[in-house]
Structure 1
Amino acid sequence: SEPSAGSDLASLTTRAVRDGDEWVLNGQKVWTSGARFAEWGLAITRHDFDVPKHKGMTAFMVPFNAPGVEVRAIKQMSGGANFNEVFLTDVRIPDSLRLGPVGDGWKVALTCLGFERDHSSGSTSSHTGGTYKQVIAAAEWAGVSKDPIIRQSLADLYIQHKVAQLTNRRAAAGLRAGQTPGPEGSLGKLMWTANMTRISNVISQILGTRLVADNGEWGTYAWNEHILGAPGYRIAGGSDEVQRNIVGERVLGLPPEPRVDKDVAFSEAQRLARK
């Protein structure tokens, strides 16, 4: 994303200007995961400001060691720094690093976001945050696994976990059949972030004040990373609000939200927005 775009990715303003067999990129990206350690990044840029915002974008692979690329870490309240700002100043990229045709940047972005939102692999090795099994282990360790209120919360967590698992299996079947991730990726992403919040709530019930300070007890203070990190994933890969719009429009067939800038040149839309 970009500071001026937020969840409206199509409002990005990072500029790409063609210069012979090269492109010159200028702009700023934000919330770029792992940029400090990555060798390559994917940049969606705007090459044409005089067409509607979804049509003037082009995608590039950007080597992070290219002159003009600067990465700055963003410190999170969990203590980590998974996200970064990336500044592009007169970065020259050969046309061979362009992804897709000129003007197809939005299609590239949607394809990448579809895979990012997809959680159909079912792999626990790539799981972010705490798992259901770890919550059960914490309840047993704390001696509250037989408490009726805790058991009710654990049962609800298990039900929601299984529903998400079955939904993801359906998405996985589509991938195996060669399909591109569709709106089911948005549904899976919503379930994933909702379950992360549920885990935070249940583990808070289980551990209580043990979450406040690191006293060396097993499996207590370490949950802070999950509880403090979980809210941020509601905006990862597109905010939950955007995902609900996608499900409403593409799955439920609800009328789309009014978009006054849909058929307006991006430069004109920007000018009107500044009024």
Structure 2
Amino acid sequence: MTRTLDQVPELSNFAEEVRAWLSSMFAPRSAQSSRDKPDLAVFRNLSDEDELQLLNAVRDYRRRRFDAGYGAVTLAVEHGGRGLPASFASAIAQAERDFEVPPSTELISVTTGLVGPAVAMFGTEEQRIAYANPLLRTDLLACQLFSEPGAGSDLAALSCRGVREGNEWVFNGQKVWSSGARFADLGMLLARTDPDLPKHKGITAFLISLDAPGVEIRPIRQMSGGSSFNEVFLQNVRVSDSMRLGEVGQGWKVANATLAFERTASGSVTRKKGGSVAELVELAQSLGMADDPLVRQNIADVYIRSELRAATADRVARAAAAGKSPGPAASVGKLMASDVLGRIGEIAADLLGNNITADIDHDQFAWTEHLLGSPGYRLAGGTDQIQRNIIGERVLGLPPEPRENRDQPWSQRDKR
């Protein structure tokens, strides 16, 4: 069933409804509480105990939000959502900023924003019943098992093998940069199931249980201090064919849809990562440098870029509201988001000088986590170089990069 226009509530009424619901559970967020513990990290640095405590708090909230009808508002009605425009999800996120709602994590975002919708979109009826709602409600948590040491930017070059044996698949390979994997129940896996087809056509998507025999998860320590990323090793891991997402060989289609969700989320103005322009202005004022012409010029430049990013995210939201794919606009938003984060970090480092590396003031030292984390955002959700290729080819109409092996069987990739 398709939701008709007269079933879509007024956005202002919806926002008021959300705020009233939030106020029944949480106190308003005060400016003072935000200043007490500034969170400027792009990727959090938490112990396993603190990570679990945060996950439990977020999951408790997300379950209540889902049960109240605010958990999957943009997902199509036929896939278990409310079929509302993306602006309604933005209204929820905006309202949450004004209340003491538990902050989300990468694993929660991947579970509810990427894997859950992908299962709802490509899964069988049995998979949707067993996994889609539990993922969207965070009863189950899931990570992505996409990137590999030899297949990051060129994801289609992945080599993790899936071999069918009767009604099971046997997987061998390695995945990397999987956010929250050691706390997840499931992994959304891309595997090479037919090496004799061209690289984009021989890939299939699966859900796998991360406590299955043969799965080993190792945390990766980041230079910003945290270890939210993981590498995952698969050795003779057996998975039933009932866990396959989509048809055999349809994995690239599933991956593209999931990555479009990720790029849209990465470029969204409703998702705070690191320090903001407003916090940068506060830093300049606290240091007595807000009247310096060069400082003002640099902050004005990044403010303009931040506003352009917001406008681009709004374009993506309006396209989604009209039922259109975000397409290359999602890549523009992702590229602009990582650019703004990087520039904010550079300006903060210029303002603080040597103090950015010395814990003399917690408010100032918090910028170190932003500075060290922002380069990683140029990789998350597709590297900046890949986003530029997409924009150049699909928006500007520039000649594509040479892909001489595109139609060659993957098994022949090293042969001349």
Q: Per-residue displacement from partner, 1:122-151 (whole Å, max 9, x unpaired)?
A: 21xx32211112111211221211221111
For residue 111 of structure 1, report the CA deviation from its aligned partner. 0.9
Matches within 5 A, 1:89-108: 89-108=235-254
2:275 — aligned with what? 130
Q: 8 Å contact 1:71–1:86 — kept in the other structure?
A: yes
What is the identity percentage for the equivalent residue pairs of Structure 1 and Structure 2? 52
Are 1:189 and 2:334 matched, yes or no? Answer: yes
Are 1:78 and 2:224 matched, yes or no? Answer: yes
Are 1:227 and 2:333 matched, yes or no? Answer: no
User: Among residues 206, 217, 224, which one is paired with 1:60 in the alignment?
Assistant: 206
Please give the secondary structure, in 1, of the residue aligned with 2:183.
Answer: coil
Q: Per-residue displacement from partner, 1:186-235 (whole Å, max 9, x unpaired)?
A: 111110111011101111122222201101x2421111111011111111
Indicate the structure with greater strand content: 1
Q: Which moved more, 1:88-97 or 1:7-16?
A: 88-97
2:403 — aligned with what? 259
User: Among residues 346, 366, 385, which one is paired with 1:201 in the alignment?
Assistant: 346
For residue 94 of structure 1, report the CA deviation from its aligned partner. 1.5
In structure 1, C-alpha distance between the alignment counterparts of 2:168 and 2:345, rounded to whole Å: 48
Are 1:156 and 2:310 matched, yes or no? Answer: no
2:393 — aligned with what? 249
In structure 2, C-alpha distance between the alignment counterparts of 1:36 and 1:91, rounded to whole Å: 17
Are 1:116 and 2:262 matched, yes or no? Answer: yes
Q: Once superposed, which parts of structure 1, at least 4 consecutive aligned residues long, lie more than 4 Å away?
A: none
In structure 1, stretches of 5+ residues that fail to align are none
Structure with greater contact order relative to length (CA < 8 Å, sep ≥ 6):
1
AA of the residue aligned to 2:342:
T
Provide TM-score, normalisation by structure 1.
0.94
2:382 — aligned with what? 238
AA of the residue aligned to 1:193:
S
For residue 121 of structure 1, report the CA deviation from its aligned partner. 4.2
1:38 — aligned with what? 184
Indicate the structure with greater helix content: 2
Q: 1:271/1:5 Cα in 2 relative to 1: closer, same or farther (>3 Å)? A: farther
In structure 2, C-alpha distance between the alignment counterparts of 1:134 and 1:39, rounded to whole Å: 36
2:41 — aligned with what? none
For residue 92 of structure 1, report the CA deviation from its aligned partner. 1.3
In structure 1, C-alpha distance between the alignment counterparts of 2:347 and 2:314, rounded to whole Å: 25
Provide TM-score, normalisation by structure 2.
0.63
* Superposition RMSD in Å: 1.3
In structure 1, C-alpha distance between the alignment counterparts of 2:200 and 2:231, rounded to whole Å: 23
Please give the secondary structure, in 1, of the residue aligned with 2:256.
Answer: helix
Please give the secondary structure, in 2, of the residue aligned with 1:270.
Answer: coil
Q: Per-residue displacement from partner, 1:143-200 (whole Å, max 9, x unpaired)?
A: 2112211111111111000000001100011112222331111111110111011101
Q: 8 Å contact 1:187–1:243 — kept in the other structure?
A: yes
Q: 8 Å contact 2:246–2:254 — kept in the other structure?
A: yes
In structure 2, C-alpha distance between the alignment counterparts of 1:72 and 1:244, rounded to whole Å: 32
2:158 — aligned with what? 12
For residue 116 of structure 1, report the CA deviation from its aligned partner. 0.8
In structure 2, C-alpha distance between the alignment counterparts of 1:31 and 1:242, rounded to whole Å: 17
